[in-house]
Amino acid sequence: MRTLIVAPNWIGDAVMAQPLLALLKAREPKRPLDWLAAPHILPVGAAMAEIDRLIEAPQRHGQLQLRARWALARKLGHAGYDRTYILPNSAKSALIPWFAGIRERIGYRGESRSALLTHSPDPVARRAPMVEHYARLASVCGSPAPASFPQPVLHADPNRAAAVRAQLQIPPGPIVILAPGAEYGPAKRWPARHFAALADRLTESWPQVQVVLVGSMNERPIATEITTMSAGPVRNLCGETALGDAFALLADADGVVSNDSGLMHVAAAFGRPQAAVFGSSDPRHTPPGSARAQVLWLQLDCSPCFARECPLGHTACLTQIAPETVFEALSHAMARQG
């Protein structure tokens, strides 16, 4: 029999779900784990050693897509699944396993979907870190929860990194990646002028280092602003790479600087040295899971507010983190052995 993992819809959350898969695989090594995910989440599953098969889920933002979900469920109903872990909290994310008649449907109660689940864990009184939040699902139908939880680990093909660098004409040598985006909103984005100042500091201090901006097309305007303000050579690849290619570059990076974003979690899971800048969110809840990560968080009285935009209009939690401070944090992370 097989297990179906219904993946989260955010890259960072998908990465933080990997320890759950590691626990499940350790418990039943021969049981296949399949990853049902939206197209932009499939590359996360592809980088997980525990995943046996990738399945693309219907994904149109804000649409129920009952017909598409029913058609996919009909196929999955004949694929030998007897257990599923439904990681998003929405009711519609539980529809495909329910339509498919999968016997054990495990997940948090979430958004009015208790009737669609067969097993739910007891709620935890405190706000648990997301890695623990997902990993605790492993104990619902099996062994007790462990005393500690593993950190996310992704695996990269080094040959792909070399191929991507060749395709993008990035010559061999050290590379530092800046990821200036955060899909959630501007209250999680370190200012473009700070990224530009950091890029200048990097190229002045380490002339041999290539500074590359990575992100989606949505982040290209921010990246363009950074390159315009920067005095040194900075390569803007935002919107120019497939997500899997961006992952390959991150896995090959000598250093990474990012906001609290999906790419922050990807870099951490690849074990890359990094400086992670936090604003409106909380690194106690969604930290980069790596000993080589340096977290910068001012912990002002007004934070964490978890807002998309600063309720006070000043975003001091981000603007007051100086580029030099981030440079020093990255230097420390890069000097630390893995």
Among the listed residues 333, 251, 253, 223, the one whose alpha carbon sits nearest the alpha carbon of residue 15: 251
* Separation between Cα atoms, residue 261 and residue 258, nearest integer Å: 7
- Rounded to two decimals, the pTM is 0.95
Among the listed residues 214, 196, 216, 329, the one whose alpha carbon sits nearest the alpha carbon of residue 273: 329
* Separation between Cα atoms, residue 278 and residue 25, nearest integer Å: 32
pLDDT digit string, tens, across residues 173-182: 999 999 999 9
Q: 290, 178 in Cβ contact below 8 A? A: no
* Separation between Cα atoms, residue 61 and residue 234, nearest integer Å: 33
Residue-level pLDDT at 235: 96
3 phi/psi in degrees, rounded to 5: -115, 135
State the average pLDDT over residues 252-263. 97
Q: 167: which 2 tokens?
A: 């395709």
Identify the structural domains of the chain with CATH numbers, from first to last: 2-139 (3.40.50.2000), 158-335 (3.40.50.2000)
pLDDT digit string, tens, across residues 147-190: 788 999 999 998 999 999 999 999 999 999 999 999 888 899 99
Would you mind telling me the total number of residues written for the chain in this entry?
Answer: 338
Among the listed residues 219, 252, 211, the one whose alpha carbon sits nearest the alpha carbon of residue 238: 219
Q: 319: which 2 tokens?
A: 């603007």
* Separation between Cα atoms, residue 320 and residue 329, nearest integer Å: 15
Task: Give percent of the chain with pLDDT exceeding 90.
Answer: 86
The better pLDDT of the pair 123, 83 is held by 83
Q: Where are the alpha helices (DSSP H) in the chain?
A: 11-16, 18-27, 42-46, 66-76, 95-99, 130-135, 158-167, 192-205, 220-229, 243-252, 262-269, 316-319, 323-335
Among the listed residues 142, 3, 26, the one whose alpha carbon sits nearest the alpha carbon of residue 79: 3
Whether 60 shows a pLDDT value over 70: the answer reads no
